[in-house]
Amino acid sequence: MKTLKIAIQKSGRLNEKSVELLKNCGLSFENYKSSLISTVSNFPLEILFLRDDDIPEYVQDGIADIGLVGENVIAETGVDVAYLQRLGFGKCTLKIAVPNNNQYQNIADLSGKAIATSYPVILQKFLDKEKINADIKTISGSVEIAPGLGLADAIFDIVSTGGTLRSNGLKPFADVMSSEAILIGRKGIENEHLVLELLQRIQSVMRAKETKYVVLNVEKSNLDKILNLLPGVKSPSVLPLAEEGWVAVHTVIPERDFWSHINELKAAGAQGIVVMPIEKIIL
């Protein structure tokens, strides 16, 4: 393979993070809003900007080799593609929601009811699994107004904060699927060297994002205490400071471990703590 083609969302909730991820991988390209294709100048890659709904099929059919899209869209289109990498953004949950004032107790109460959604395939699978017979009304947008209009008794849609539900007099009733952005590929492409190289870059960017470079100063007498508090570190660097009896500890740690230990580090005598972002971590 000479050039790899990746499909990403043209505009919408995944576009910005998708472009940012590719740029963080060191790829240079113009992000023309008006064009469908952009060529990367320093890696054999072409970027196709598409509607997210079209991405799974384009990848399955080989028009793009790989694609970046929400798991929900993959599930809804029912394509047969390879999952290459979960990307940790575009997280959301698909839920059934019902009007605030209704008395549904459990899922079985949805039997015989009308549920409006843009995700009929995912919903039907869920209802089949729960052995519920309901009437699915497929609509393409503004699903949350359907109960108010009398079109449906419940809805099935993406919910993130729940604000849209609340403002339409709805409440979450059942979680059906959680989703995040995923890098998918055409079946069989997993071991292509260009795919592997891009994957390695993506993974090094993701690893770096979760990790911080931390530098702190401590009196030598407190050094052991500090080193015990820094989890998961193989071997921090310890450098002498100009001031007699003091050292600087340099280390790389997961950000969440850092925050859970910050007060203990201070209590153990850490001073001048500096936390820095890391661009890439190559293992």
Tell me which residues touch ligand ATP (CB under 6 A).
9, 12-14, 51-53, 70, 72-73, 90, 92, 158, 160, 179
**Residue nearer to ligand ATP on the CB measure, 13 or 166:** 13
**Residue nearer to Zn ion on the CB measure, 8 or 134:** 8
Alpha-carbon span 169 to 83, nearest angstrom: 37
Question: Does 53 participate in binding Zn ion (rule CB under 5 A)?
Answer: yes
Strands 92-99 and 154-159: antiparallel
- The binder of Zn ion chosen from 27, 47, 49, 52 (CB under 5 A): 52
- Joined together, the tokens standing for residue 228 give 């015990």
- Joined together, the tokens standing for residue 246 give 């003091």
**Residue nearer to ligand ATP on the CB measure, 29 or 119:** 119
**Residue nearer to Zn ion on the CB measure, 52 or 144:** 52
DSSP character at residue 35: -
Rounded to a whole number of angstroms, the distance between the first and last alpha carbons of the chain is: 26
- Residue 182: contacted member of ligand ATP, Zn ion, none (CB under 5 to 8 Å, by partner type): none
Residue type present at position 175: D
Please state the closest distance from residue 87 (CB atom) to ligand ATP, in A. 11
Please state the closest distance from residue 5 (CB atom) to ligand ATP, in A. 18
Residues 6+ apart with CB under 8 A from 54: 7
What value does the CA radius of gyration of the chain take, rounded to a whole number of Å?
25
Please state the closest distance from residue 91 (CB atom) to ligand ATP, in A. 6
Please state the closest distance from residue 106 (CB atom) to ligand ATP, in A. 26
Please state the closest distance from residue 67 (CB atom) to ligand ATP, in A. 12
- Residue 170: contacted member of Zn ion, ligand ATP, none (CB under 5 to 8 Å, by partner type): none
C-alpha separations of 268 from 80, 94, 222, 272 in Å: 54, 45, 7, 13
Do 60 and 81 form a contact (C-beta atoms < 8 A)?
Answer: yes
Task: Give the binding site for Zn ion (CB under 5 A).
Answer: 52-53
